[in-house]
Chains A and B, each alone.
Chain A
Amino acid sequence: AAGVIQSPRHLIKEKRETATLKCYPIPRHDTVYWYQQGPGQDPQFLISFYEKMQSDKGSIPDRFSAQQFSDYHSELNMSSLELGDSALYFCASSIGTLLPSKTQYFGPGTRLLVL
């Protein structure tokens, strides 16, 4: 079965650079969530999109922005990178944010290292 695809899987950037992470949800899933997981930490919710509109916002820094495109894939844009941005970034997808709880299916993550 198709799973959530994230690219790139690994990314190394320097401080103050920008990075773009991509997420391709499971086919027919219309909701995408972004989470950040620091070393030894639990995943922290950043932002979510439903039907290409932002549906919820968590602890996403102002330096980050994201969007969901017409094909439902999503991109997380990170600017002015800081050392503390080094983490695993997970994308998850589900069907219908307005319906009773739906399972979120997580991608393999993008490991970002900021030097």
Chain B
Amino acid sequence: SQKIEQNSEALNIQEGKTATLTCNYTNYSPAYLQWYRQDPGRGPVFLLLIRENEKEKRKERLKVTFDTTLKQSLFHITASQPADSATYLCALERRTGRRALTFGSGTRLQVQP
């Protein structure tokens, strides 16, 4: 069955360090992979989208990689700040048909000052 896995354990890092979050998927051929940030009790907020033919995407302190051979995406936050503390969700979107997102379970990031 299709599965999207994110590290369920919280990631605790020190301010200023680089946070790296992992998203692995199986039995899926996504055309696009997106990363969202979600704060408690609030809706997911879009961060970055990467296409299947792209290896890497950057936006300010954020970087996403997409390896369709490994079926994995890595999400990096450089120079992390306490304000980056949140749950980060990866979401996959198929090439055709259903355009709705299938979310992973998210990884909670805690940046310590």
User: A-B contact count, CB below 8 Å?
Assistant: 58
Q: How large is the interface on B (under 10, 10 to 19, 20 to 34, 35 or more residues)?
A: 20 to 34
Does A108 reach chain B (CB closer than 8 Å)? yes
Does B81 reach chain A (CB closer than 8 Å)? no
Residues of B within 8 Å of A41, CB to CB, are 105
Which chain B residues (19-77) contact chain A, with CB distance < 8 Å?
31-32, 34, 36, 41-46, 49, 51
Among candidates B42, B100, B103, residue contacting A42 with C-beta atoms closer than 8 Å? B103
Does A81 reach chain B (CB closer than 8 Å)? no
Does A86 reach chain B (CB closer than 8 Å)? no
Q: How far is the CA of A55 from the CA of B93 in the complex (A)?
A: 15
Q: Which of A12-20, A65-73, A98-106 lies at the binding interface?
A: A98-106
Residues of B within 8 Å of A108, CB to CB, are 42-43
Shortest C-beta distance, B47 to chain A (Å), equals 10
Whether the Cβ atoms of B43 and A106 lie closer than 8 Å is yes
Q: How far is the CA of A72 from the CA of B34 in the complex (A)?
A: 25
Whether the Cβ atoms of B100 and A58 lie closer than 8 Å is yes
Q: A42-B105, A101-B31 are in contact. Are A55 and B42 (CB under 8 A)?
A: no
Residues of B within 8 Å of A43, CB to CB, are 44, 89, 101, 103
Shortest C-beta distance, A92 to chain B (Å), equals 8
Whether the Cβ atoms of A97 and B99 lie closer than 8 Å is yes
Residues of B within 8 Å of A48, CB to CB, are 99-100
Whether the Cβ atoms of A103 and B34 lie closer than 8 Å is yes
Q: A41-B105, A42-B89 are in contact. Are A56 and B100 (CB under 8 A)?
A: yes
- On chain A, the number of residues with a Cβ less than 8 Å from chain B's Cβ atoms is 25
Q: Which residue of B lies closest to A34 (CB)?
A: B100
Most chain A Cβ neighbours within 10 Å, of B51, B89, B103: B103
Q: How far is the CA of A42 from the CA of B34 in the complex (A)?
A: 14
Whether the Cβ atoms of B99 and A101 lie closer than 8 Å is yes
Residues of A within 8 Å of B42, CB to CB, are 108-109
Write the residues of chain B forming the contact surface with A, with a CB cutoff of 8 angstroms.
Answer: 31-32, 34, 36, 41-46, 49, 51, 89, 93, 97-106
6 cross-chain CB contacts under 8 A: A45-B102, A55-B99, A56-B99, A101-B49, A103-B34, A107-B43
